[in-house]
Amino acid sequence: MKFIDEARIEVHAGKGGDGMASFRREKYVPRGGPDGGDGGRGGSIWAVADRNINTLIDYRYARIHRARNGEKGMGSDCYGRSAEDIVLRMPVGTVITDQESGAVIADLSAHEQRALLAKGGSGGLGNLHFKSSVNRAPRQFTRGEPGESRQLRLELKVLADVGLLGLPNAGKSTLIRAVSAARPKVADYPFTTLQPNLGVVRVDDNRSFVMADIPGLIEGASEGAGLGHQFLRHLARTRVLLHVIDVAPPDPEADVVRDARALVRELRKYDETLYRKPRWLVLNKVDLLPEEEREERIAALLKKLGAKRRHFAISAISGAGCKPLVFAVMEHLEGAGAPKRTPRKTGKTAS
């Protein structure tokens, strides 16, 4: 199934049914009085988070959702039937925004969380409600209220504790394959990752966290270069970012330090809050450096980066250095008060 993480829909709640102006008409019952019932309530539209759904693809094609109107009131004190509500099931992590005002209506961050998108109109009153000692035969009734209508923007932000950030071919997909059972595509050309991938990293029987791999970010992403910023939203909920850097790029003229700084600038252009998240350096592919020069070249690279951030030297393809990284991340998440996660039975456990 193609991954869809953004959609726009229209929701139209149902109109309330009109009240009824009616009088009791029975043999041997003179002046029976008013007996008009109320109209039924119009159907509302709700959003419900469902952890069994992982894409917004259904809303890419079904864009208009309209609830039924309530029935009109009837005589003999009969009220009109209320219309059934419509429930739209969406992935956990969906943010629902009103397109006109820009206000966030709901952030569906938990399974079965509900949010009202459009409220159905109330039914009108029948003339039964207007009788009094001075108005014995009221002919007044009220119309049903219209339901709400909205144009909404749906945006999926995946729920992950750790996000991988880096240039294309830095080894992010290889890293997530090394520490979890997730199997994203890996190849020797840029942009092999075209959609976010999640993997459950299991540290031991009772401790685990979720890692997210997104498509690579390049300089000029804010102007639409590469895949642009469209997938950075999936890092918004993470607690720590791992900036994966290829220390042995295939292009001998590549400037690793310049590229790393350019990526950080793009991150800051997108979202200052995301830029301020804890960000660790992960120097990948150290196995491609000559063993006798490895420590010296890594130290020189860190000095050029001027980074006082926490750093790790690893080889994702061989797994070297991955275990200390995983344990350090787990300790950081526990220290920051992250909830301990129990892996769901999806097959994505540590390899």
**What is the reported pLDDT for 333?**
87
Flag whether pLDDT at 144 surpasses 60.
Answer: yes
Give CA angle at 166 (160, 171), nearest 5°: 90
**What is the reported pLDDT for 247?**
85
Mean pLDDT score, 147-153: 94
Find out whether 200 and 180 touch, Cβ atoms under 8 Å: yes
Rg (CA), the chain: 29
Whole-Å CA distances, 106 to 59, 89, 118: 17, 13, 12
Verify that 69 and 191 share a domain, yes or no: no
Q: How confident is the model at residue 194 (pLDDT cuts 50, 70, 90)?
A: low
Mean pLDDT score, 12-27: 89
Please check whether residue 53 lies inside any domain of the structure: yes
Q: How confident is the model at residue 339 (pLDDT cuts 50, 70, 90)?
A: very low
Find out whether 114 and 47 touch, Cβ atoms under 8 Å: yes
Verify that 191 and 256 share a domain, yes or no: yes
Measured CA to CA, the distance from residue 98 to residue 105 in angstroms comes to 7
Find out whether 305 and 171 touch, Cβ atoms under 8 Å: no
Mean pLDDT score, 6-21: 92
Verify that 277 and 135 share a domain, yes or no: no
Sign of CA dihedral 112, 113, 117, 122: positive
Verify that 124 and 241 share a domain, yes or no: no
* Percentage of residues in the chain having pLDDT higher than 90: 25
Verify that 213 and 321 share a domain, yes or no: yes
Please check whether residue 116 lies inside any domain of the structure: yes
| Most trustworthy range by pLDDT among 138-152, 186-200, 222-236 | 138-152
Verify that 81 and 214 share a domain, yes or no: no
**What is the reported pLDDT for 93?**
86
pLDDT in tens, 57-93: 888 888 999 999 999 998 888 899 999 999 999 988 8
Please check whether residue 348 lies inside any domain of the structure: no
Verify that 176 and 231 share a domain, yes or no: yes
Long-range contacts, stretch 325-331, CB < 8 angstroms, 24+ apart:
325/179, 325/242, 325/282, 326/179, 326/201, 326/203, 327/203, 329/161, 329/162, 329/201, 329/209, 329/240, 329/242, 330/203, 330/207, 330/209
Verify that 132 and 167 share a domain, yes or no: no
Verify that 171 and 109 share a domain, yes or no: no
Please check whether residue 351 lies inside any domain of the structure: no
SS3 state at 314: coil
pLDDT, greater one: 246 or 270 = 246
Verify that 188 and 145 share a domain, yes or no: no
Verify that 67 and 207 share a domain, yes or no: no
What values do phi and psi take at 343, rounded to 5?
Answer: -60, 135
**What is the reported pLDDT for 227?**
45
Compute the mean pLDDT over every residue in the chain, rounded to the nearest whole number: 82
Report the run of H or E that residue 304 belongs to, with start and end: helix 294-305
Measured CA to CA, the distance from residue 11 to residue 131 in angstroms comes to 38
Q: Amino acid letter at 251?
A: D
| Residue 199 DSSP code | E
Please check whether residue 44 lies inside any domain of the structure: yes
pLDDT, greater one: 336 or 215 = 215
* Helix, strand and coil in the chain, % to nearest 5: 20, 25, 55
Please check whether residue 346 lies inside any domain of the structure: no
> Whole-angstrom distance between the N-terminal and C-terminal Cα of the chain?
25
Please check whether residue 343 lies inside any domain of the structure: no
- Of the candidates 156, 172, 194, which is a domain's last residue? 156
Find out whether 173 and 141 touch, Cβ atoms under 8 Å: no
**What is the reported pLDDT for 182?**
65
Flag whether pLDDT at 150 surpasses 70.
Answer: yes
Give CA angle at 79 (73, 85), nearest 5°: 95
Verify that 188 and 147 share a domain, yes or no: no
Domain count, the chain: 2
Would the pTM count as exceeding 0.85?
A: no
**Residue with structure tokens 């960000």?**
279
Q: How confident is the model at residue 120 (pLDDT cuts 50, 70, 90)?
A: very high
pLDDT, greater one: 344 or 304 = 304
78, β-bridge pairs: 74
Query: Around Cβ 345, how many Cβ atoms within 10 Å?
Result: 7
Nearest to 22 by CA among 64, 74, 90, 67: 74
**What is the reported pLDDT for 105?**
92
Mean pLDDT score, 25-45: 86
Which CATH number covers residue 286? Answer: 3.40.50.300
Q: Which of 2-16, 203-217, 221-235, 260-274 has the lowest mean pLDDT?
A: 221-235
- Of the candidates 141, 156, 171, which is a domain's last residue? 156
Which CATH number covers residue 10? Answer: 2.70.210.12
| Residue 54 belongs to domain spanning | 6-156
Please check whether residue 78 lies inside any domain of the structure: yes
